[in-house]
Amino acid sequence: MRKIFIPAIMILTVLVFMTGCKKWADDQADIYEFKPAPGQAVSDAAPLCGSIKGVMLSGKTYTIGCDVYVNGGDTLLIEPGVTINVTNNAGIAVRGILVSLGTKANPVTMTVPGLLKDNTPGLAYAADSAHSSNRLWKGIACDTSCPMLVLKWTHIEFAGSSYGKTFGPAVQQKSTTSFNLLFQNPNGAFIMEDSWIWGGTDDCIRVSNGRIHIFRNTFEKCGGTGGDIVNVKGGTTGTMAYNFFIGSAYNGQKASNKGQPIGAPQTNVVMYNSTFVNGGRGVVPGQRGSTTNFEEGARGAFYNNVAVNCRVGYRVVNNPAADTANLSYGNNYQYADSLVIANNFFTSGTVCTRPQPTDLPNPASYLPANFDYTNPKYDGTPVVQKLNPMFVNYPLPSPYSPWGLTSIGTYNFHIQPGSPLVGKGYTGVHPLVTVPLASVYGASEVTPPGVDLGCFQVNGSGNQH
C-alpha cells in the first residue's frame, strides 16, 4: 500500500530539486593560470632566462639565453654602453618598464652574436642574414599592460624571429608574429630616439595603440617580403620625425585608426622631416605605400618629407578613408630615377592624395590641369631624374637595380649645401607631444620641424647619425 505514495514522493522530490539544487549546476572551473616567477636581478655572470629586473651596468656585456620577461611593476634599466647578446632565438617580453639609455658616445647594442651586417648592394634576400638567418631573435615585445618602453641611442640588430608558442601568447600575439618591436597599450608611452634597427621579417615596429615619440632613428633592411617599418593602429597619438628609412618592404611610416579600442583616442600622428630611400621593394603600384600612409580614420599631418626612388608616392587612402578633414600635408619631396616611379608619385588604387603647391617637384610642372587626384593619370616624364637631392655620397641615378640597396653602408645621405631640399621646409607644423619629457623615463628632445626637407639638416640638427 505504500506504493501509492511513490508518485507523490517523486513529485515532491522534483519540487525540492527544482528549488534546492541550483548551486550544483554552477560550472566549477579550475583553469591553469601561469604565475610568473619574481624578477631576478640581472647579472652578466650567466645567460639570462625567465623573469628579470634591475640595472644592466654600463660597459658590460649580457647574454640572453632564452626568453626573458620584465614583470608588471618591475623595471629593466640598461645603462650606456651595454651590449646584449641574444642567443637561441630568444626575446624580451615587457609587462613592466624597459629603459635603454644609450648615448651618442656609448650606445646600447642588442644583437645576435656571430651575425655580421652585410651591406653588399643587391644581396639576394635568401642570402641576407638580416632577414633569413635562422638565428634571429624576437626583439622587444610589450604586452597590453606595459606602461613604458624607452629606447635611446640603441642598436637593435637581427630581430625578426617568430614569437613562438609561449612568447606569443605571453604578449597576446600569435606564435607566428615576428615584429622587431611591439607596443600595445593605449595609455602607455613608447619613446624611441636616435636609435638604429637592422633587419627583420615583418612590420619592424608595430604599435597597436599607444602614445608615441619616434625621433631621429635609422632603419635598414627592415621587413620581410612584406611589412611596414613603423605601423601604428587605432588609438595611437604622437609624433614621428627625422627618421631615415632605406629599403622598406612597404611603408616607412603608416598611421591607421583601425581597431581603435573603446576609450582610446582617435589615431592622430604628426609626421615631419623623414627621409625614405628605395622604399616599397615588396609593393605593387596601387597596393600599399612605400613612404608614408594615412588610412582608415587616421588624422594628423605630414610635412617636409623626402622620398627617393620609392615605389609609389605619399599616400592618403580614400577607402576606408583617412580622416582627411583633419589631415594636413605639404612640402613633401620626391625623386625618381625612372618613369615607372615618376608615374607613381601620385599612385593608383583608392587614393586621395592632393597635390600641394609646396610639394617638390612642383605638381603644376607635370600634372595635367584637370588632374583627378582620386584616379591619378599623368605622364611623369618631365620629372624623371629631376631635382637631384644632392646627397653627400650617393650616386643618382642609382647604379643598382631598383630597391637593390637596402642599407646605408659607406654611403652618406646627408645633403650638400646646394641641395634643392635646403630651405624648403615648413616650420609651422606642431609636433604632437603625448609622452613625458625626461632624461630617463621620457623623451629627451622634441626636435621642431626643420627648415630643410628630410631628416638631415644642413645646420646639423635633426637626425644625428
Residues in region 32-61 near another protein by CB under 8 A: 32-34, 36
Q: Based on the shown chain and the rule CB under 8 A, indicate whether residue 417 belongs to the binding site for another protein.
A: no
- Cell numbers representing residue 3 in the block: 506504493
Torsion, Cα of 139, 463, 119, 178 (10° steps)? 20
Residues 6+ apart with CB under 8 A from 387: 333, 335, 360, 361, 420
**# of chain residues touching another protein (CB under 8 A):** 101
Using CB under 8 A, which residues numbered 106 to 145 contact another protein?
A: 124-126, 128, 131-134, 136, 144
At 447, which amino acid appears?
T
> Cβ 77 to another protein, closest distance in Å?
24
Q: Is 19 left (phi over 0), alpha (psi -120 to 50) or beta?
A: alpha
> Cβ(19)–Cβ(25) under 8 Å?
no
Residue 325 CB, nearest distance to another protein (Å)? 10
Tell me if 399 contacts another protein by CB under 8 A.
Answer: no
198 near another protein, rule: CB under 8 A = no
Cα–chain center distance at 51 = 26
What sections of 275-403 are H helices per DSSP? 339-342
CB–CB of 171/143 below 8 Å? yes
Which position among 201, 243, 332, 344 is part of the footprint of another protein (CB under 8 A)? 201
Only segment of 238-246, 335-343, 398-406, 420-428 that touches another protein (CB under 8 A)? 398-406
| Interface with another protein in residues 219-238 (CB under 8 A) | 224-226, 233-234
Q: Which residue has the cell 632603419?
A: 219
Asked if 35 contacts 69 with a C-beta cutoff of 8 angstroms, the reply is no
Under rule CB under 8 A, which residues in 273-292 are in contact with another protein?
A: 281-288
Query: What's the rounded Cα separation, in Å, for the pair 420 and 134?
Result: 43
List residues bridging with 207 in a β-sheet: 183, 232
Instruction: Count how many residues are written for the chain.
Output: 465
By the rule CB under 8 A, 382 interacts with another protein = no
Query: Candidates 21-29, 329-337, 384-392, 411-419 — which segment interacts with another protein by CB under 8 A?
Result: 21-29
Select the span of 169-177, 238-246, 379-387, 429-437 touching another protein (CB under 8 A): 169-177
The stretch near another protein (CB under 8 A) out of 24-32, 147-155, 189-197, 414-422 is 24-32
Among 39, 81, 107, 160, binds another protein (CB under 8 A): 160
Reading the block at residue 182, the C-alpha cell is 611591439
At closest approach, how far in Å is the CB of 82 from another protein?
A: 25
The answer to whether 95 contacts another protein (rule: CB under 8 A) is no
Shortest CB 421 distance to another protein, Å: 27
Is 364 a residue that touches another protein (CB under 8 A)? no
**Shortest distance, CB of residue 456 to another protein, whole angstroms?**
26
Q: Residues 180, 161: contact at Cβ < 8 Å?
A: no
